[in-house]
């Protein structure tokens, strides 16, 4: 399965990932001190939902399209408001677009904040540079995200979030992610880190989370959403996020949001959600 962003922009995994990113950035903005956003596999920044890739794999219709312009419970609406305020205007156009994590982060960042977007794919990297052109807060770096992750931390601001969102096209990426987190955390133990992963094989995910639990890293929150039975044919049915050093409000917010998303974004009878701590204080 190809997990390059263009094929899956706006799907259920993006909804969860970007809603959580927005909540983390809002928490960082509560203090005046600047923060840094580091996105290791940033993609192109903006996705045309009428493009060949999106038409071939129109997963956004079972994702963001089920939220835009619909009625939401008040508590859910409050949690999703920062995210939907960015996405809604782009989706409302005759030619709808979906913003990737770089544009969501830019929309929520302030004048004093800085953003580093890393994308190895040469075509996507050039598109990303175009998407953020003229914004002096941000830099697009044509580097290998796995290598750049450790090199980019700790940032000068000493506050911020790293988003690691690889395409999962190669074997061993769960191991690379776990080892990358261990190395980066040694250098920047106070930073917030988001790790995205697809759920195709429950055993692979459990090995990954067991590795994190044994790492000695504290404050690891696990967030998962299934929209159908795992392991069946067809598009991805499960997605997960690991958040290290999450905002203190995030667990309660996800306890409200996740059950709603499982109902609203369900594609089959296996829809469900889970949240829990891999490691506490």
d(CA 84, CA 264): 15
d(CA 143, CA 40): 9
Give the CA count within 13 Å in the CB-facing half-sphere of 275.
15
d(CA 105, CA 87): 12
Our answer to whether residue 165 is catalytic in this structure is yes
Query: Which residues make Cβ contacts (< 8 Å) with residue 227, sequence separation at least 6?
Result: 12, 62, 237, 238, 262, 265, 266, 267, 268, 270, 271
d(CA 122, CA 129): 11
The answer to whether residues 145 and 170 touch, using CB atoms and an 8 Å cutoff, is no
Burial class (CB in 10 A: 0-12, 13-18, 19+), 190: exposed
The answer to whether residues 98 and 9 touch, using CB atoms and an 8 Å cutoff, is yes
d(CA 80, CA 85): 8
Select which of 39, 165, 226, 228 is catalytic: 165
Residues forming the active site:
165
């Amino acid at each position: 399965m190809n997990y390059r962003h263009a094929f899956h922009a706006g799907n259920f995994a993006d909804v969860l990932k970007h809603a959580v990113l927005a909540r983390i950035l809002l928490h960082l903005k509560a203090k005046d001190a600047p923060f840094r956003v580091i996105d290791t596999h940033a993609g192109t920044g903006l996705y045309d939902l009428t493009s060949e890739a999106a038409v071939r794999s129109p997963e956004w219709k079972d994702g963001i399209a089920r939220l835009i312009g619909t009625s939401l419970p008040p508590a859910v609406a409050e949690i999703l408001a920062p995210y939907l305020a960015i996405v809604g205007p782009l989706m409302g156009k005759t030619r709808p677009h979906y913003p990737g994590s770089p544009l969501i982060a830019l929309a929520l960042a302030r004048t004093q904040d800085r953003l580093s977007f890393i994308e190895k794919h040469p075509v996507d990297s050039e598109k990303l540079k175009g998407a953020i052109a003229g914004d002096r807060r941000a830099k697009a770096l044509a580097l290998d995200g796995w290598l750049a992750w450790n090199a980019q931390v700790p940032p000068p601001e000493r506050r911020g979030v790293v988003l690691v969102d690889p395409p999962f096209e190669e074997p061993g990426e769960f191991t690379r992610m776990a080892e990358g987190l261990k190395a980066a955390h040694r250098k920047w133990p106070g930073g917030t880190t988001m790790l995205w992963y697809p759920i195709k094989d429950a055993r692979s995910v459990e090995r990954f989370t067991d590795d994190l639990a044994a790492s000695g890293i504290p404050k690891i929150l696990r967030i998962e959403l299934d929209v159908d039975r795992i392991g069946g044919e067809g598009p991805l049915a499960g997605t997960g996020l690991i958040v290290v050093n999450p905002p203190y409000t995030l667990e309660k917010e996800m306890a409200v949001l996740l059950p709603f998303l499982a109902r609203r974004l369900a594609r089959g009878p296996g829809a469900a959600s889970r949240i829990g701590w891999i490691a506490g204080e």
